[in-house]
Amino acid sequence: MGRLFGTDGVRGVANADLTAELALGLSVAAAHVLAEAGTFAGHRPVAVVGRDPRASGEFLEAAVVAGLASAGVDVLRVGVLPTPAVAYLTGALGADLGVMLSASHNAMPDNGVKFFARGGQKLADELEDRIEDTYHSHAAGEPWDRPTGAGVGRVKAYDEGFDRYVAHLVAVLPNRLDGLKVVLDEAHGAAARVSPEAFTRAGAEIVTIGTDPDGLNINDGCGSTHLDLLKAAVVDHGADLGIAHDGDADRCLAVDAKGEEVDGDQILAVLALALREAGGLRKNTVVGTVMSNLGFKLAMEREGIDLVQTAVGDRYVLEEMKAQGYALGGEQSGHVIILDHATTGDGTLTGLMLAARVVATGRPLDELAAVMRRLPQVLINVRDVDKSRVASSPELTAAVAEAEAELGSTGRVLLRSSGTEPLVRVMVEAADIDHARAVAGRLADVVKSALG
């Protein structure tokens, strides 16, 4: 049986892979594991539960709440809020556990369950493993030890969560956004109310798209995975920049006034310089991943900033940041972690900080982003293959070695299994886009033949 937890919680097609029974069972298991670990010692446990607007989030939230309350955990339902808001509120309210129902950037039929530990931190791998093992043992028939009477958990809405989170976002900005015109694409997702409110309170003039979630349209042709609407809107409205989030708003991508994309690497580069200028870039280091564009690495070298690279996944970036005391890290996809103000990637916070830098410097976003030159990068997702054999296929190993020799020092190759989807990602960088496409295409064909 494959593991339930990926790099970002438990995710799958709602009501097929991720059922109400699974969500309930995992929640009960999480409560028992955290109790055994001493998290609940000496007090009545409290959990914060939020979700994105997916239709399936309604029944999955009900299942999670029922599971937690049946295990003796009091539940604060914060409703539809971004993933980083649930993490923030878990810490700010002194809760023992946070649970977010979301499949982030995935299409509407998917959903996911993500757990946060006390303080709004991501659960350690060891605790996730114990939760999964506990779930399986009880699903096989082992009975739960259940509280009764006054021991069961109580459930109530915590409607103040929205205002508390927005106030936090605005309070940590280094300067206001007065005079700035921003287009916001909220992907019909969890930040549809939060982000416009935060930018408005910070003083920006805003234009919004993707702010009418109906439970079915999340990430549908909009948001950080589909930037065309935002690019057109920024140009049409003569805006200074555009900000796009994904369904749970832990990502942020941007668009400059000319309608050109500014990706996560460029945002990191801009914010790294801003933090260094403010004296907040601890150890003069920014954390990226092995997927960071080579141009980002070269830019940081030129600016005299150290770059540490981790495995792909914001959880690995965060682990490195916490272990070494770094302040800034993130991914090309737009997960940016500003550790002094958030415990996880926060797309709204990132967008606000980027906009604040534009105002503070008086320079347009395209000029700020020009600190790095993105080398052409081609990414091909190869589906319906055995992703577990990526590292053990001799045919694939030989093909990668041949490609690396062909590219030399002007490019690179990266093959990796997705942590959240059943596919293998083939990434190739080269000085020339046509060369990158040709090499990536050849490697994708080898992946299909070797792992299909």
246 annotated as a binding-site residue? yes
104 annotated as a binding-site residue? yes
Degrees (nearest 5) of the Cα angle 297, 300, 303?
Answer: 150
Q: Tell me the CATH class for 163-369.
A: alpha beta
Scanning the structure block, which residue is given the tokens 């009764």?
148
pLDDT digits (tens, 9 = 90+) for 382-435: 998 888 888 888 999 999 999 999 988 778 898 888 876 778 999 999 988 999
pLDDT at residue number 1: 45
Instruction: Give the C-alpha separation, 183 to 104, whole Å.
Output: 21
With contact defined as beta carbons under 8 Å apart, do 425 and 377 qualify? no
**Considering 27, 56, 104, 195, which one is annotated as catalytic?**
104
**CATH number of the domain located at residue range(s) 377-451 in this protein:** 3.30.310.50
Instruction: Give the C-alpha separation, 70 to 45, whole Å.
Output: 12
Closest CA to 340 of 78, 88, 93, 49: 88
**CATH number of the domain located at residue range(s) 5-159 in this protein:** 3.40.120.10
pLDDT digits (tens, 9 = 90+) for 211-263: 999 999 999 999 999 999 999 999 999 999 999 999 999 999 999 999 999 99
Degrees (nearest 5) of the Cα angle 89, 93, 99?
Answer: 50
What residue segments make up the domains of the chain, in order of their start? 5-159, 163-369, 377-451
pTM above 0.85, yes or no: yes
- By percentage, how much of the chain surpasses pLDDT 70? 99
104 a catalytic residue: yes
* Mean model confidence pLDDT for the chain: 95
pLDDT digits (tens, 9 = 90+) for 436-451: 999 999 999 999 988 8
Residue 368 pLDDT > 70, yes or no? yes
| Topology agreement, domain 5-159 and domain 163-369 | yes
250 annotated as a binding-site residue? yes
